Every structure is written in structure tokens, then in C-alpha cells.
């Protein structure tokens, strides 16, 4: 892999470390969805309250990611990408170890918020480093490897959460993060960042985005591309036990295994979408194709009656495969802005779209009573996919774009 700012060995090591960092990040990010029922029952939450309390805790984590995305993104542009890689993983590793000791909902929510803040920095910093350290023709392969390997962390979370006590699952996640810190010592800072580090240019200034309509519109479109991904994971799969009852499931559906199979599909989808974007030299058209596939897979899920566990797992893989354009989504965000705003954008965009799950879940909850769980999901899902289509249409193609420039 050619690199404009480092040796082939350095770049390969960077991709490895970024991939493993995102692996741990994804493990911890989806772990609560996997062990939601077991952990909440263990601390005394009644069966009737499992859904509402689960939504509250997911929202606490996602709000933390909104806050963390902004903090880590700005920090990455002002002080460097490496500091974010170290600081974020330390925060969420300690938080997840602490999660194994919770005994009440309030403490659980507070620690999930802290973990969310920490989780917010990992992907954006890693992708920014990779895109800035590889040639413009090959950087898509680097980001593809980071995302596809990293997303397997969610699959492992499904396996661990299913086989071990929920406390142990949290301890394993925190332990992996602390071990990974040792590997980070050998990673080098981005050469593009070094170029502007001492220059008198605005770095990590979020008002440069909010105060400029052209930049803000581009930023908003970058963010909303991935809205369907979090609808699928945060609603359809996380609340699979509740959907299963409405779909006449022959036995209770496991959200934990659903998460595992969905992220297995997403990981495969990321490899496929990454390869397709490199082969056809386009990000936009590939995303549009995957959005059409997402619509089809959502309809299949919501209209499958007499759902068996085998059908459910197969549909989860299909849902994951069709929403497996996460790598292109984050790469597009990184390629849209100059070096002095790149970490801010690349870190905040995935976390703001994760945080949008708060709006998605509240919309779903609000529509569930008047429309029923299936129709509520149908309305929210089609809305999310439509918004994503409009967003990708409004963005410029960024394949092969030179990233060595600053925003004035």
C-alpha cells in the first residue's frame, strides 16, 4: 500500500491498530443491546419495564456519543489524531469495567453515558489517520479493512454476551481496550496534520461548519447517509423479542444473536461496498445501491409471518449486508473536508448519526401505540431511508480526491 506520508510498514501497522481499536469499540458499543434483558433483570427491572428502561439506557449511551464526538473531534484537529486514539480507548475501557459492578438503573445510565463519550473518539481518529496516510487511489482499501475487521467486534460481543455472565462480558471489553493501549505506542501521527500543526490556521473550529451554509449542508448530508443503519440495528434487531411476538415467532427471538448475525452481515457488506467503490471508482452510486437493498430487506423483515429463529438469523444477515456501507459513509465524510476540520468531521459525523438513534427510538415509541409496532417501524424505516437517499444525492463524488488542503 503506497503512502504519501509514511513507509509501507508504518501504514500497515496503523491499519492493524485502527482495525483492532474499532473492533474493541464495536464490541463495547453493541454489548448493551446483547445483554440488555439479562443485565436489567439482574438489577431488578420488571419484565414490563425492560423495553422502556432499555430505551433510556441506549439513549444515555448515544447522548454520550454525541457529546464525545464533538469533544474528541475538535481535540483531534487541535492536538492531533493520536491523542484521541489514546484518550478515548482509556475512557471507555475503564467505564465498561465499572459497568460490571452496577446495581441500579441510575448508575447504569450514568456509566453508559461516560462509556458513550469514550467510544465516540475511536473510529473518527482511526479513519482520519488512515485516509491521511495512504495514497488517494488506495485509501479506500485501508478504510475498508478498518471497518470490516472492526465490525467483527460486534459479532464477538454477540458470542461473549450469549455465553458469559453480563458482568464478565463488560470486564472482557474493558480488558481488551486496556491491552490495546500498549499497541498504540508504535503508531505515528498523520503527516498532513504535522504540516498544519504550527500554522496559524483555525483548527477544529466547529463554528466554521455551523457558520457557513455550504459547509453545514455538506456536513448534514454526510451525517444522514447512515440513518438507516442505526434504525436497523437500534430498532429492528435490538427489539427483536418484541417484534417476534407480533410476527408470530415460533419461539422467543434473541436480540443478542440477532446483533451478532447483523454485524456479521455488515462486516461482509463493508468489504463488498469497499471493493465495489474502488472497482467502479465511485462512493455515491455504491451507497445508493445499498440503500435500495436496505429498503428491500426491511420490508422482508416486517412482513415475514410465522418467524422462525432460522429465518430471523438469515434476515439479520441480509439486513446487515444491505446496510454494510458504513465504511464508505465514514470515508466520504473524511474526504469532504480539509485537514484542519477533517478529524472534527470524521469523528462527529458517525457519532451524531449514532446519537440520532435517540430521535429514531422516540419516534418509534410515539408511533407504536397508535399504529402498532410493525407499522410504526415501517413508517420510521421508510422515512430514514428516504432521507439517506436525498443526502447521498446532494453530495459530491470524492473518490480519488486530493486531501492535502485546508478549509479557509
Cα dist from 130 to 135, 199, 390, whole Å: 10, 22, 28
Joined together, the cell numbers standing for residue 74 give 475538535
Contacts of 242 (CB under 8 A, 6+ apart): 51, 373
**Helix or strand holding residue 116 (H, E):** helix 105-119
Rg of the chain's alpha carbons, rounded to an integer? Answer: 20
At residue 399, φ and ψ (nearest 5 deg) are: -60, 130
Distance CA 231, CA 275 (A): 25
Distance CA 152, CA 268 (A): 9
Joined together, the cell numbers standing for residue 336 give 469532504
Distance CA 2, CA 11 (A): 8
Place of cell 429463529: 309
**How would you write the pLDDT of the chain (408 residues) with one tens digit per residue?**
444 444 677 888 888 888 888 898 889 888 887 888 899 999 998 988 888 888 889 889 888 988 999 999 999 898 888 888 888 989 999 999 999 999 999 999 999 999 999 988 888 888 888 888 888 888 889 988 888 888 888 888 888 988 899 999 999 999 999 988 887 776 776 677 667 766 777 888 899 999 999 999 999 999 999 999 989 988 999 889 899 999 988 888 988 788 889 988 998 999 999 999 989 999 999 999 999 999 999 999 999 988 999 999 999 999 999 999 988 998 999 999 998 899 999 999 988 887 788 789 889 999 998 999 999 999 999 999 999 999 999 999 988 888 888 888
Contact status, residue 187 vs residue 146, Cβ threshold 8 Å: no
Distance CA 406, CA 395 (A): 19
Is CATH 2.40.50.140 the right assignment for the domain spanning 8-185+204-394? no
Nearest Cα neighbor of 379 from 366, 391, 396 is: 366
Residues present in the chain in total: 408
How many helices (H) and strands (E) in the chain? 19, 0
Confidence (pTM):
0.84
Distance CA 244, CA 236 (A): 10
Contacts of 157 (CB under 8 A, 6+ apart): 26, 27, 28, 30, 31, 34, 169, 173, 259, 260
Distance CA 333, CA 323 (A): 17
> In this structure, how many other beta carbons lie within 10 angstroms of the beta carbon of residue 106?
8
Question: In the chain, what are the domain boundaries?
Answer: 8-185+204-394
Is 228 buried (19+), middle (13-18) or exposed (0-12) by CB count in 10 A? buried
Amino acid at each position: 500500500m503506497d503512502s504519501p506520508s509514511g513507509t509501507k510498514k508504518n501504514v500497515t501497522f496503523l491499519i492493524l491498530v485502527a482495525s483492532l481499536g474499532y473492533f474493541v469499540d464495536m464490541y463495547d458499543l453493541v454489548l448493551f443491546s446483547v445483554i440488555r434483558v439479562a443485565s436489567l433483570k439482574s438489577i431488578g427491572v420488571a419484565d414490563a419495564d425492560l423495553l422502556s428502561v432499555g430505551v433510556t439506557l441506549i439513549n444515555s449511551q448515544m447522548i454520550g456519543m454525541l457529546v464525545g464526538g464533538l469533544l474528541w473531534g475538535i481535540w483531534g484537529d487541535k492536538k492531533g489524531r493520536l491523542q484521541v486514539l489514546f484518550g478515548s480507548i482509556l475512557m471507555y475501557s475503564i467505564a465498561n469495567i465499572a459497568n460490571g459492578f452496577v446495581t441500579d438503573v441510575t448508575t447504569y445510565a450514568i456509566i453508559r453515558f461516560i462509556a458513550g463519550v469514550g467510544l465516540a473518539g475511536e473510529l473518527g481518529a482511526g479513519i482520519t489517520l488512515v485516509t491521511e496516510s495512504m495514497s488517494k487511489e488506495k485509501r479506500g482499501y485501508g478504510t475498508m479493512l478498518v471497518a470490516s475487521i472492526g465490525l467483527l467486534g460486534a459479532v464477538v460481543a454477540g458470542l461473549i454476551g450469549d455465553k458469559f455472565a453480563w458482568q464478565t462480558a463488560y470486564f472482557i471489553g474493558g480488558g481488551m481496550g486496556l491491552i490495546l493501549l500498549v499497541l498504540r505506542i508504535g503508531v505515528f501521527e498523520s503527516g498532513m496534520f504535522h504540516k498544519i500543526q504550527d500554522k496559524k490556521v483555525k483548527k477544529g473550529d466547529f463554528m466554521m461548519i455551523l457558520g457557513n451554509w455550504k459547509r453545514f449542508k455538506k456536513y448534514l448530508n454526510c451525517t444522514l447517509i447512515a440513518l438507516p443503519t442505526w434504525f436497523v440495528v437500534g430498532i429492528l434487531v435490538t427489539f427483536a423479542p418484541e417484534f417476534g411476538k407480533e410476527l408470530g415467532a415460533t419461539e422467543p427471538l434473541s436480540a443478542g444473536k440477532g446483533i451478532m448475525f447483523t454485524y456479521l452481515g455488515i462486516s461482509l457488506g463493508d468489504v463488498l461496498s469497499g471493493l465495489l467503490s474502488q472497482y467502479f471508482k465511485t462512493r455515491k452510486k455504491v451507497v445508493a445501491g445499498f440503500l435500495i437493498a436496505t429498503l428491500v430487506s426491511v420490508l422482508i423483515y416486517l412482513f415475514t409471518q410465522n418467524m422462525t429463529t432460522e429465518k430471523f438469523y438469515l434476515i439479520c444477515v441480509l439486513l446487515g449486508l444491505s446496510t454494510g456501507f458504513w465504511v464508505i459513509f465514514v470515508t466520504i465524510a473524511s474526504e469532504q473536508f480539509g485537514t484542519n476540520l477533517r478529524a472534527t468531521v470524521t469523528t462527529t459525523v458517525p457519532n451524531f448519526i449514532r446519537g440520532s438513534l435517540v430521535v429514531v427510538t422516540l419516534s418509534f415509541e410515539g408511533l407504536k401505540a397508535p399504529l402498532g409496532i410493525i407499522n410504526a417501524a415501517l413508517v420510521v424505516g421508510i422515512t430514514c431511508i428516504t432521507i439517506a437517499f436525498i443526502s447521498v444525492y446532494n453530495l459530491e463524488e470524492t473518490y480519488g480526491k486530493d486531501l492535502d488542503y485546508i478549509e479557509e
